[in-house]
Each structure stands twice: as C-alpha cells, then as structure tokens.
Structure 1
Amino acid sequence: MQNRTPRIPQQPAPSHRAEFDARLAVELAAVVTGARRRALRDGDRQIDTAHLLHSLIESDPEVRTAFDGGAQLAKVLGYLVQRSIGYGLRWQGAIEDSGALPVVADAGAEGWSPSAASAMAGAYRRARSLGRERAGGIDLLVSLTADRECRAVEVLERAGVDAALLEDRIVEASSQG
C-alpha cells in the first residue's frame, strides 16, 4: 500500500525501521506519528523537539499532568500553536542541533533533527534504566527537558516553564512510584 501523506520536495522519506519503532510504547509511537505529520504540515525537513513536545502534550495525558497546572500547560500550547502558524518560521529550513547531547548515529534517525534523535534515544535509555522494554511519553518529556538548548526547551521557557524544575519533578515522582 502506498503512503498517501505527501512529502515536501527535497525532504528525505521518513525511516520506518521496525527496530527503532519497536522501542516505543504504543502511546509514544502515536506521538511520533503526530510529530511527523506536524513537521510535514509545517513544511519542515525534519521532526524537531518542538514537534515532539507539541504532539506529546496533545496526545499523552500523563505528560499533561506533569505540568504545574492548567494555566502553565495552556501557555505552552499557546506558544506551540503560534509556532505552527508562523512563530517557528525562523527555524524553518534550519536543522536543529543544540550540541548539548551527543548525536545518535542511528540509521533509524533519518528525517529527525539531531536533537530529536538524541531525545528519542534518551527516552529509550531512561525506560531501560527503569526496567521497561519500551519508552513512553514521560520518558521522552524527561529526555527533552534534559537538553537545555533544544527547541522544545526554548518553547517551555518562553511559556514560563522551568525545564530543569519540570525534569526534577518527573524524576522525583518516578523514584517515589
């Protein structure tokens, strides 16, 4: 069956390696699909960390509860929507690579910004360290907040969310549960 999602010219076809996708919980696989759709719709060449954050918040209830109240979450979503309608134009055509985390040399990361690929790998490592075979949304949120130079953290901070505090709250809750 042919994929009916149009590709932007000069955009590499997204990789669908089974091994890469097998490391994702069903919920996180849906997040990745949403981020891919958002990147295509926005005309971006790669999925970046802001696409992942937007999709995470839209589709994962556990991620939404990690924020400090509805007002904070609404402000983050407001910035993400602004990005979708033009706020992110300064990012268009630019590859996201914060340099803060090591780039993952993984063929499954084709179509991903280096920061987004590193965040996905970090989510998987976190899940494994907690004894799980598959990464979930909260694992990805922690991984995103760990890269203080990525676009997702820039969005969080513009919305008044302290990424370090958010990460600490999630990690603390994970260690207590």
Structure 2
Amino acid sequence: MQNRTPRIPEQPAPNPVGPHSFHSPDGPDARFTVELASVVTGARRRALRDGDRQIDTAHLLHSLIESDPEVREAFDGGPQLAKVLGYLVQRSIGYGLRWQGSVEDSGAVPVVRDPATEGWSPAAVTAMEDALRRAGRRGEPRAGGLDLLAALAADGESRAVEVLGRAGVDARWLSGRAVERTAEASRLR
C-alpha cells in the first residue's frame, strides 16, 4: 500500500497592500507614513465590507477622514466635514451614492489591466502615485495624509470629488488647503 498525500492546490498569497508601484525594497508601506499605511488598510477593509471589487477614491477619502486629524482640520469647520461623512456613511450602508459593482475610472489614466494594481480603481492608483510625487517634490521620503487628500481632491472626475461636491465642498479649494497645510508642517520641522 502506497502512502499518498492528497494534493491540495497551493493558493497564491494575497497582495496585502496593493499596487507594487507603491512599494519600496524596505517593505510594502515604506513609502507611506504610518498614518497613511493605516488609511490604506482601512480603505481595503471598507471596500471588502461594502462588497466592492476595488478600493476607490471614496474608500480612501472615508478612511483618510476617519484616521487622520490633520485631514479633518483641513476642512476648516465641522458642518462640511459632517456632510462629507454623511454621504460616505450612506454609501457604505448601501444608500445614496450607488457605485457598487462598477469600476471607478476618472479618465486620469488609461485603464490597463496590470496585476500589480489589481484590487484598486485606476483613479485610486493615480491618487496614491500623486501623493507620493507630492511628498517627493518636498524632499520627503514618505507621503502623508495631506498629500493624499490634495491628490484625491485634485482629480475632478473621481468619486471622492463627487462626494465632496455633493457635500458642498469645493474640491480645488480643499486640495489647495491640503497643500498649504503640508507646506506649513514642513516648515515647522
């Protein structure tokens, strides 16, 4: 009698962070501040909980607002922030904005099937890369929450900007405000 072990197909390890273009040799989140790495994790969790196939810019915005006090301060007052959170919560419980099951494509970059960005909308990939570029232009090795906020608000066709608009927030103003706050913080260091 031969001793046979049942063959169980090996499952590929899931990509725990997202697009490889965000990675560095020092680790998957080495190009993000600890806070921004936490935002990415929160956005992924939210997308899974909402039943969405991809992390989109609205998931990133929601997680960013919940996680980063500097981002909340950039809104310059509670009423607008409360309205933005209201729209985001409506979306996460299935009401209001109905994007579930569709791919966010703001047109910022051509949609190309890249395994490295699987699980991310093209607009979310663009926002994350833009956040990294913004930090790099300041000479910072890591992108932070305000970098991502500025990038999200700068893409006029993204879901994040649609949420901001419905809540009465001028996205261009918010992007500029995030850039100003980031510059102020850099000068104080």
State if a TM-score over 0.5 links the two structures: yes
1:119-170 Cα offsets, whole Å, 9 max, x none, are 0000000000111111111000000011000000000010000001111222
TM-score w.r.t. length of structure 2: 0.80
2:175 maps to a residue whose letter is E
Query: Hey, what's the Cα distance between the residues in 2 that align with 1:103 and 1:63?
Result: 29
Quick check: 147-156 or 106-115, which moved more?
Answer: 106-115
Equivalences for 1:165-176 in 2 at 5 Å? 165-176=173-184
1:98 corresponding residue in structure 2: 106
CA contact (8 A) 2:87 2:97 kept: no
Give distance in 2, aligned partners of 1:101 and 1:64.
28
Q: Quick check: 1:104–1:118 contact (8 Å CA) kept in 2?
A: no
**RMSD after superposition:** 2.2
8 Å Cα contact 1:46-1:111 kept in structure 2: yes
Aligned pairs for 1:4-43 within 5 A? 13-16=14-17, 17=20, 18-19=23-24, 20-43=28-51
**Where in structure 2 are the equivalents of 1:77-116 lying within 5 Å?**
77-87=85-95, 90-101=98-109, 108-116=116-124
Match of 1:143 among 130, 146, 151: 151
Partner residue of 1:119 out of 124, 127, 133: 127
State the shift of 1:23 in Å.
1.2
Match of 1:48 in 2: 56
Structure 1 gaps, min length 5: 1-12
Equivalent of residue 68 in structure 1, options 76, 99, 104: 76
**Identical residues among aligned pairs (%):** 71
Q: Distance in 2 between matches of 1:46 and 1:113?
A: 6
Task: Output the CA distance in 2 between the equivalents of 1:15 and 1:58.
Answer: 21
Q: Which has the larger radius of gyration?
A: 2
Gaps spanning 5+ residues in structure 2: where?
A: 1-13
Distance 1:14 1:33 in 2: 12
Aligned length: 166
